[in-house]
Chains A and B, each alone.
Chain A
Amino acid sequence: MILDSKIPEGPLEKKWQNHKANIRLVNPANKRNIDVIVVGTGLAGSSAAASLAEMGYNVKAFCFQDSPRRAHSIAAQGGINAAKNYQNDGDSVYRLFYDTIKGGDYRSREANVYRLAEVSANIIDQAVAQGVPFARDYGGNLDNRSFGGVQVSRTFYAKGQTGQQLLLGAYSALSRQISKGKVKMYNRHEMLEIVMVDGKARGIIARNLVTGEIQRHGAHAVVLASGGYGNVFFLSTNAMGSNGSAAWKAHRKGAHFANPCFTQIHPTCIPVSGEHQSKLTLMSESLRNDGRIWVPKDIKDAEAIRAGKLKPTDLPEEKRDYYLERRYPSFGNLVPRDVASRAAKERCDEGYGVNATGEAVYLDFAAAIERYGKTEANIKGIENPSAEEIRKLGKAVVEAKYGNLFAMYEKIVDDNPYETPMMIYPAVHYTMGGIWVDYNLMTSVPGLFALGEANFSDHGANRLGASALMQGLADGYFVIPYTIGDYLADEIRTGAIDTNHEAFAQAEAEVKGTIDKLMNTAGEHSVDYYHKKLGHIMWNKCGMARNAESLKEAISEIQALRAEFWQKVRVPGGAMEMNPELDKAMRVADFMELGELMCMDALTREESCGGHFREEFQTEEGEALRRDDDFAFVSAWKYNGEPKDAELVKEDLIFDNVELKTRSYK
């Protein structure tokens, strides 16, 4: 099996333009006879559904939440990248492309990433036109800030709620099409199966989560924008309902799953505090613009802090180890996420952690408060301001920038981060891996497309901050509307899809069979009981650091756990009513398989790159050791029954425009 990525010919900067110029089109009259299903209504799904409807296709959109506006894109905090170069600091399409390729540790496709950088500027124009209230400066122009792994300021933001504002923009575009009748919206519906007719994706089986009704929906193409699978770890920054089921069902129907082991562990999250915890909360990367990360230099001070005998604010400057600034002087606190996370783990593993569990480091704003305070005093013409005045002025600036994040931190931790440093620790945040797609964003199943976090295409082994929003909207607004036409041009004579076809009946029977099985098990333990167990295995053995031995253990442990789950999980209530436990059970059942594939992928990738750190492959300084000669490829897994039987198909990554270098942020 050879995977054809269908990358257009020609020089890098011309590929997308040429492709758009030559791609097949569907005329407006024919579009009215073509149906497209979009699963998921986050940035990628909402923007795709709105754009496809705008173009004239009949769209059915599905979300499991009670409204499309709730999708988890809404929780993205820090910002969205775009190569606008408004700051005149040397940014360009090429530099955004280069930063993304390098940040992804050279494990993504040049052509896809270049296209992403190319359309990025349009996203900002589009969002502003929709009334997205980005932050502005006093001249009325858009403001920018900087994110990890780059040396320019290209991140557009709306305080700490950028994802919310962009999603509400896309939701408003979607609502406009719903009101026109071009999108039929199915809230509180979950996709449970892809229906294949003659080798093409022809529809889905969905469940109404209020009534339990199983429904058939036919279409000429199915677009998955169902997000990532970080919840396989149980604890993550994902929403409680975020799941990998749509992607996994697609995989089982023939869509290759690419680089499943590439997981992003975000460095700045609120640390785990106890067993009651249901999820972890991110503190935006934007905080690293102003916060300095440190642990005590002396292990005795760390012990004293853990025992509550010493306060961080009492520790003088010379006794603190600003380890990121020490190890990576040129990027300092703004190194990419994978690097920052590993460095925090290294310090905590050595015994320098600062909370009761020993798994936390400080993120300190005292220096920023003082710096901003002095600037403000200058602006206001205050001569010889007192330390107290400076602090007050500086706090006001920090509050204007990050107020909502500081308030959230205080609610969760019960500590005031203006007065004492925040405590943070890495947590699962994003999955770079996902369904394999070609340049047109079509999966290896004809007629089945994947967008946003659900696909694997743009971020390689590590995503840069503020690039997820960019990718979701690029895919939905500016890529799929063109590329889907290339496939649908052959469908203009197909006519409406018949949901009475045998394939629909069969898919429906399979879904009902799964539900019956779950409702009729022995019933010993709850779904969460199993989900937590799976999460522990994944975090301990396929988390921030992995090795062959523990991955092999994880695979057999997951197999055993999965067998037990199917025998002993307890799902209360009935199948024909609102039953969140059943919804959860179906998702966890898929995580039980996906987790195993993640471990297999991590085991076969015998190198360290980006978020994938294999302990056997590191430099003497403990940095990731990439092996380009043997592993410069995408691992695309083909389903063959059980996860353990999956077949590895390689798509070689060819770099014509950038030189593969050891990533250095020193």
Chain B
Amino acid sequence: MDLKLKIWRQANQNSKGELKDYAIKNVSADSSFLEMMDQLNEELIDKGDDPVVFDHDCREGICGMCSLHINGEPHGPENATTTCQLHMRKFKDGDTIFIEPWRARAFPVIKDLSVDRGAFDRIIEAGGYVNVNTSGNTLDANAIPVPKADADEAFNAATCIGCGACVAACPNASAMLFVSAKVSQLALLPQGKVEAKDRVLHMVNQMDLEGFGNCSNVGACAEECPKEISLENIARMNREYLGASLTSTK
């Protein structure tokens, strides 16, 4: 198929970016979206132009590195799919495709379509862990049974890949879905309950410091999430946060 592309080009964080037009021919319907981008870049290199910078790594939908805003939607039109798993058969010959970076104050553009998501790492550093040392001298793994329903629910929250689509989708650029997924996972498991109060307070505090917006129950985050992380996590985080704020002694 032949396509027209409008791609965001920006030399660095401080320069002004703009959409540039590209045309690409003979794209296989079996190509992934990023393979189409590879093809474009090969053509640009052959012509002596600068290829388009975009983040990607595993191309299996799990590392969370790919991050394109395609035709106004994070990760493009297909539900529950990362950009790397989106295939060109979802587009039609002659289509025009808009390709932009995640847009949020907390995710500054580094170059072209690549953004800095270091804020997510810092939120995890603020408390997204269990304070257990790495010695392995802990309880036997089966010492505390965990109800299957809780384990499954924790797992579902834990499948978040940290790509940032939730932030990109949100009109407030809120990171509540990301933060709540980690808060939920650990709050649901006995191992994480011990420090649940401190965790939610610290993580939410860091989230605010990073400049993410607040949640106004739009729901676009869960709608666009490639891993279908549920809005229930935000509700759970709000409960945890409220409880912690009212009872915390610190």
Partner-B contacts on A (CB < 8 A):
47, 50-51, 54, 65-72, 74-75, 84, 86, 119, 122-131, 133-142, 158-159, 161, 163-165, 168, 171-173, 175-176, 178-179, 185, 187, 210, 237, 239-241, 273-274, 276-279, 281-282, 407-408, 411-412, 414, 477-478, 481, 526, 528-529, 570, 572-573, 577-578, 580-581
Which of B46-54, B210-218, B231-239, B242-250 is found at the contact surface with chain A? B46-54
User: In the assembled complex, which residues on chain A have CB atoms less than 8 Å from the CB atom of B53?
Assistant: 578, 580
List the B residue with the shortest CB-CB distance to A123.
B136
Q: List 21 A-B contacts (CB under 8 A).
A: A54-B133, A66-B117, A67-B120, A70-B63, A70-B65, A75-B58, A130-B130, A134-B151, A136-B151, A173-B134, A175-B128, A175-B129, A210-B111, A240-B56, A276-B31, A276-B35, A411-B85, A412-B85, A528-B38, A573-B51, A577-B111
With beta carbons under 8 angstroms apart, the residue of A131, A161, A185 that contacts B185 is A131
Contact between A74 and B136, CB atoms less than 8 A apart: no
* Contacts A65-B57, A172-B128, A572-B48 known; 5 new A-B pairs at CB < 8 A: A164-B62, A164-B159, A175-B121, A411-B85, A578-B110
Q: Is B124's CB within 8 Å of the partner chain A?
A: yes
In whole angstroms, how far apart are the Cα atoms of A129 and B139 in the complex?
8
User: In the assembled complex, which residues on chain B have CB atoms less than 8 Å from the CB atom of A134?
Assistant: 141, 151
Q: Which of B110-168 contact A (CB under 8 A)?
A: 110-111, 114, 116-118, 120-121, 124-126, 128-142, 145-148, 151-152, 154-155, 158-159, 161-162
Contact between A573 and B50, CB atoms less than 8 A apart: yes
In whole angstroms, how far apart are the Cα atoms of A3 and B40 in the complex?
49
With beta carbons under 8 angstroms apart, the residue of A133, A159, A161, A477 that contacts B189 is A133
In whole angstroms, how far apart are the Cα atoms of A315 and B194 in the complex?
57
Q: Mark B77-110, 1 if CB is under 8 A from A, else 0.
A: 0101100011101000000000000000000001
User: In the assembled complex, which residues on chain B have CB atoms less than 8 Å from the CB atom of A172?
Assistant: 124, 128-130
Q: Mark B25-58, 1 if CB is under 8 A from A, else 0.
A: 0011011101100110010111011110101111
Q: Mark B168-190, 1 if CB is under 8 A from A, else 0.
A: 00000000000000000110010
Q: How many residues does chain B have at the interface if contact means C-beta atoms less than 8 Å apart?
A: 80
User: In the assembled complex, which residues on chain A have CB atoms less than 8 Å from the CB atom of B137?
Assistant: 122
Q: How far is the CB of B119 from chain A (nearest CB, A)?
A: 11
Contact between B87 and A412, CB atoms less than 8 A apart: yes
In whole angstroms, how far apart are the Cα atoms of A127 and B78 in the complex?
34
List the A residue with the shortest CB-CB distance to B29.
A414
User: In the assembled complex, which residues on chain A have CB atoms less than 8 Å from the CB atom of B148?
Assistant: 136-138, 140
List the B residue with the shortest CB-CB distance to A137.
B148
With beta carbons under 8 angstroms apart, the residue of A129, A137, A187, A278 that contacts B130 is A129
In whole angstroms, how far apart are the Cα atoms of A179 and B27 in the complex?
46
Contact between A131 and B191, CB atoms less than 8 A apart: yes
User: In the assembled complex, which residues on chain B have CB atoms less than 8 Å from the CB atom of A477?
Assistant: 134, 136
Q: Is B12's CB within 8 Å of the partner chain A?
A: yes
In whole angstroms, how far apart are the Cα atoms of A171 and B117 in the complex?
16
User: In the assembled complex, which residues on chain B have CB atoms less than 8 Å from the CB atom of A580?
Assistant: 51, 53
List the 3 closest A-B pairs by CB distance, nearest first: A140-B145, A172-B129, A122-B136
Q: Is B60's CB within 8 Å of the partner chain A?
A: yes
With beta carbons under 8 angstroms apart, the residue of B85, B129, B140 that contacts A130 is B129
User: In the assembled complex, which residues on chain B have CB atoms less than 8 Å from the CB atom of A164?
Assistant: 62, 159, 161
User: In the assembled complex, which residues on chain B have CB atoms less than 8 Å from the CB atom of A526?
Assistant: 42, 45-46
User: In the assembled complex, which residues on chain A have CB atoms less than 8 Å from the CB atom of B120?
Assistant: 67
With beta carbons under 8 angstroms apart, the residue of A126, A282, A578 that contacts B138 is A126
User: In the assembled complex, which residues on chain B have CB atoms less than 8 Å from the CB atom of A74?
Assistant: 58, 62-63
Q: How far is the CB of B2 from chain A (nearest CB, A)?
A: 15
List the A residue with the shortest CB-CB distance to B78.
A411
Q: Is B64's CB within 8 Å of the partner chain A?
A: yes
Contact between A210 and B87, CB atoms less than 8 A apart: no
List the A residue with the shortest CB-CB distance to B121.
A67
Contact between A176 and B131, CB atoms less than 8 A apart: yes
Q: Is B61's CB within 8 Å of the partner chain A?
A: yes
Q: How far is the CB of B3 from chain A (nearest CB, A)?
A: 14
User: In the assembled complex, which residues on chain B have CB atoms less than 8 Å from the CB atom of A274?
Assistant: 28, 30-31
Q: Is B59's CB within 8 Å of the partner chain A?
A: yes
Q: Is B192's CB within 8 Å of the partner chain A?
A: yes
With beta carbons under 8 angstroms apart, the residue of B32, B34, B57, B140 that contacts A241 is B57
Contact between B59 and A279, CB atoms less than 8 A apart: yes
